[in-house]
C-alpha cells in the first residue's frame, strides 16, 4: 500500500486512513518514487503509477498508467528534464512526465536482451546534465551503456569497474553531475574538461 500525508492539512505529517492507495499484488512491489515534470511516478516491477494533483485544492490522485510494464531493478531509473529514463522488460524506455507515454530506445535492445539479460536487476543509473547523457552501469559485467541525448546515440564503455552511481551538484554548483564509486571508495566523474589523463580514474 501507498500511504501519503494530507495535501489540505496544515501539518505535512498528518496521515489519515483516507490517504491510502491499496496496492495491487499484480503490480509487484513499488521500487522507486521519481518526480518528472509536475508529477511523481511510482515505479513497480509490473506497473507504472502516476501520482498528481490536478488543482491547488484538489486531493492527490493516483492512477496506474502502464500495466505489465515496470522497472527491472530499484536503481535502473532516473529523471532528466521532464522525462524518466528507465530499463523495463521491453528494454530502455523514456517515460514522458507530462502525458505518461512510454517510448523505447531500440538501439540499446541488443545489449539489454543479449549481453545483460542475466544481471538486469543490478543495473544502476544516473544523468549528467553537463554532458546531457544518461549512464546505465552494469557492475556485474563492468560495462556502461551511455545514451547521448543531444545526438540520440548509444555507446558502450567496457572496463567500467565501478560499484555505484549517484547524482548531485558539481563542486562549482553550476550543473548536476553523475558520480561513480569504486569498490575502494574512490569517487570519480566524467572528465568533461579533458584536463586529466584520459582514463576513468581521474
Convert the pLDDT of each residue in 111-126 to its tens digit. Answer: 888 888 888 889 999 9
What pLDDT, on the 0 to 100 scale, is given for residue 57? 67
Average pLDDT over residues 185-199: 78
Q: 87 forms bridges with which residues in the sheet?
A: 92
Res. 202: pLDDT tops 60:
no
Whether 97 and 82 have beta carbons less than 8 Å apart is answered as yes
Res. 201: pLDDT tops 70:
no
What pLDDT, on the 0 to 100 scale, is given for residue 164? 93
pTM of the full structure: 0.86
What pLDDT, on the 0 to 100 scale, is given for residue 196? 67
Convert the pLDDT of each residue in 79-123 to its tens digit. Answer: 988 999 999 888 888 999 888 889 888 888 888 888 888 888 899
What does the mean pLDDT of the chain come to? 86
Amino acid at each position: 500500500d501507498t500511504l501519503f500525508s494530507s495535501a489540505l492539512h496544515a501539518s505535512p505529517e498528518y496521515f489519515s486512513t483516507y490517504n491510502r492507495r491499496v496496492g495491487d499484488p499484480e503490480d509487484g512491489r513499488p521500487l522507486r518514487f521519481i518526480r518528472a515534470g509536475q508529477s511523481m511516478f511510482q515505479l513497480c516491477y509490473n506497473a507504472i503509477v502516476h501520482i498528481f494533483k490536478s488543482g491547488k485544492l484538489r486531493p492527490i490522485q493516483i492512477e496506474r498508467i502502464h500495466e505489465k510494464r515496470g522497472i527491472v531493478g530499484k536503481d535502473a531509473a532516473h529523471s532528466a528534464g521532464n522525462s524518466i529514463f528507465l530499463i523495463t522488460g521491453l528494454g530502455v524506455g523514456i517515460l514522458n512526465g507530462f502525458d505518461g507515454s512510454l517510448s523505447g530506445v531500440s538501439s540499446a535492445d541488443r545489449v539489454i536482451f543479449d549481453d545483460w539479460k542475466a544481471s538486469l536487476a543490478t543495473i544502476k543509473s544516473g544523468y549528467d546534465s553537463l554532458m546531457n547523457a544518461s549512464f546505465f552501469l552494469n557492475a556485474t559485467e563492468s560495462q556502461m551503456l551511455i545514451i547521448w541525448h543531444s545526438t540520440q546515440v548509444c555507446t558502450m564503455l567496457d572496463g567500467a569497474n565501478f560499484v555505484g552511481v549517484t547524482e548531485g551538484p558539481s563542486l562549482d554548483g553550476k550543473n548536476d553531475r553523475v558520480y561513480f564509486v569504486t569498490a575502494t571508495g574512490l569517487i570519480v566523474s566524467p572528465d568533461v574538461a579533458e584536463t586529466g589523463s584520459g582514463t576513468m580514474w581521474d
